[in-house]
Amino acid sequence: MNLPVNTTDKVPQHIAIIMDGNNRWAKKHGVPGPIGHRAGADIVKPLMYACRDRGVKTLTLFAFSSENWQRPETEVRALMALLSRYLRREIKELAADGVGIRFIGRRDRLSPRIAKLLEQSEEATQHNTEATLVLALDYGGRWDVSSAAASLAKDVAGGRINADDINEQLLSSRMSLADQPAPDLCIRTGGEWRLSNFLLWQFAYAELWFTDTLWPDFTVNELDVAISHFSSRERRYGGRPAEASA
> Identity (one letter) of the amino acid at 191?
G
Q: What is the CB neighbour count within 10 angstroms for residue 165?
A: 11
Catalytic choice (2, 6, 9, 20):
20
Phi-psi region of 89 (alpha: psi -120 to 50; beta: other; left: phi over 0): alpha
**β-sheet with 207-210: strand ranges across:** 99-104, 131-139, 58-65, 14-18, 185-188, 207-210
The secondary element (H helix, E strand) that includes residue 46 is helix 44-53
| Distance separating alpha carbons of residues 32 and 26, to the nearest angstrom | 6
Q: At what angle do helices 112-125 and 73-96 cross, to 10 degrees?
A: 20
Amino acid letter for position 89: R
* Cβ–Cβ under 8 Å, residues 166 and 91: no
Residue 68 known to be catalytic: yes
Output the CA angle 220-48-102, nearest 5 degrees: 150
Radius of gyration of the chain (CA): 19
d(CA 180, CA 132): 9
Catalytic residue among 2, 9, 53, 68: 68
108 is catalytic: no
Which residues are catalytic, by number? 20, 68
